[in-house]
Amino acid sequence: MFTGIISGRGTIKSFAERKGGAAGRRLVLAVADWSDRAGLKLGASVACNGICLTVVEPFVTAGVPDSLDFDLSPETLSCTTAIGWKEGGRVNLERPLRMGDEFGGHMVSGHVDSTSLVLASEAEGDYTVWWFELPKGLERYIVPKGSVTIDGVSLTVNRVEAARFSVAIIPHTALVTGFGVLRPDDRVNLEVDLVAKNLARLAAPHLQE
């Protein structure tokens, strides 16, 4: 379980087909600049742009990892933005919630519901309003003042209009996440509010996403 509070960013060293013809791809991520990497071991979970991935090989220097390997399955590649990742790209990073940690965002599973297209950005004072497409089937989960996760970042929905919704990004968030380099026509990973999704399923179990 994550909270959507990004603690650093990693750089893609390589993103290639897995050896021996195995399905999926192997991601090698440089994390030497990530202050929260200490103690990460084989089997640990890390949210990379909102995707919960498992460490399959840590490369450790002086007791802490400076790069991490992850295997991405064909399913993950088919339903997230990971299929378009390239060497040199940057991803938002978060470790799972640990006992005693401050719960600063909202409940995030790391299971991406859909990708969404960036439609536009509008400067309003010193912050930026970003507009995204609202994917079909997820409309009932995205409501004004509700929570949403975009590329792993916990955010509050600002407005909802027809087939689009907006969030407001403060300068700090733009500085420490990928929002600082986001552009219209980019695609992002979208996870709707976990509590809202589960409540909707319990209330109407016949409804499918």
Distance separating alpha carbons of residues 112 and 59, to the nearest angstrom: 27
Q: Where among 41, 61, 94 does a domain terminate?
A: 94
Distance separating alpha carbons of residues 150 and 47, to the nearest angstrom: 12
Q: What is the pLDDT of residue 131?
A: 98
pLDDT band at residue 202 using 50, 70 and 90 as cut-offs = confident
Distance separating alpha carbons of residues 201 and 128, to the nearest angstrom: 33
Task: Confirm whether 106 is domain-assigned.
Answer: no
Total count of domains within the chain: 2
Distance separating alpha carbons of residues 61 and 9, to the nearest angstrom: 19
pLDDT band at residue 208 using 50, 70 and 90 as cut-offs = low
- Same domain as 186, residue 123: yes
pLDDT band at residue 205 using 50, 70 and 90 as cut-offs = low
pLDDT band at residue 207 using 50, 70 and 90 as cut-offs = low
Nearest alpha-carbon partner for 163 in 126, 197, 119 = 119
Over residues 93-148, the pLDDT tens digits come to 999 998 788 888 999 999 999 999 999 999 999 999 999 999 999 999 999 999 99
Q: What is the pLDDT of residue 104?
A: 87
- Amino acid, single-letter form, for residue 104: G
Task: Confirm whether 107 is domain-assigned.
Answer: no
**Which tokens sit at 81?**
């933005």
- Same domain as 198, residue 119: yes
Distance separating alpha carbons of residues 169 and 162, to the nearest angstrom: 21
Q: What is the mean pLDDT of the chain?
A: 94
The mean per-residue pLDDT over the stretch 7-32 comes to 94
- Same domain as 143, residue 69: no
The range of the structural domain enclosing residue 146 comes to: 114-203
Task: Confirm whether 125 is domain-assigned.
Answer: yes
- Of 21-25, 49-53, 181-185, least confident by mean pLDDT is 21-25
pLDDT band at residue 206 using 50, 70 and 90 as cut-offs = low
Rounded to an integer, what is the distance from CA 184 to the centroid of its chain? 18
Task: Confirm whether 128 is domain-assigned.
Answer: yes
Task: Find the length of the chain.
Answer: 209
- Same domain as 190, residue 132: yes
Task: Confirm whether 104 is domain-assigned.
Answer: no
Rounded to an integer, what is the distance from CA 115 to the centroid of its chain? 10
**Which tokens sit at 117?**
């297209």
- Same domain as 120, residue 88: no
Over residues 138-180, the pLDDT tens digits come to 999 999 999 999 999 999 999 999 899 999 999 999 999 999 9
Q: Is the model's pTM score more than 0.75?
A: yes
- Same domain as 49, residue 127: no
Q: Where among 36, 59, 94 does a domain terminate?
A: 94
Dmax of the chain from CA atoms? 53
- Amino acid, single-letter form, for residue 88: G
Please state whether beta strands 8-17 and 90-94 pair in parallel, antiparallel, or not at all (unpaired): antiparallel
Q: Count CB-CB contacts under 10 A for residue 102.
A: 8
Task: Confirm whether 1 is domain-assigned.
Answer: no
Q: Is the pLDDT of residue 209 over 70?
A: no
**Which tokens sit at 86?**
């390239």
C-beta separation of 12 from 88 below 8 A? yes
Task: Confirm whether 2 is domain-assigned.
Answer: no
Q: Count CB-CB contacts under 10 A for residue 134.
A: 21
Distance separating alpha carbons of residues 10 and 90, to the nearest angstrom: 6
- Same domain as 147, residue 88: no
What CATH number did the domain enclosing 42 receive? 2.40.30.20
- Same domain as 137, residue 178: yes
- Of 21-25, 52-56, 64-68, least confident by mean pLDDT is 21-25
Residue 146 or 20, more confident: 146
- Amino acid, single-letter form, for residue 140: R
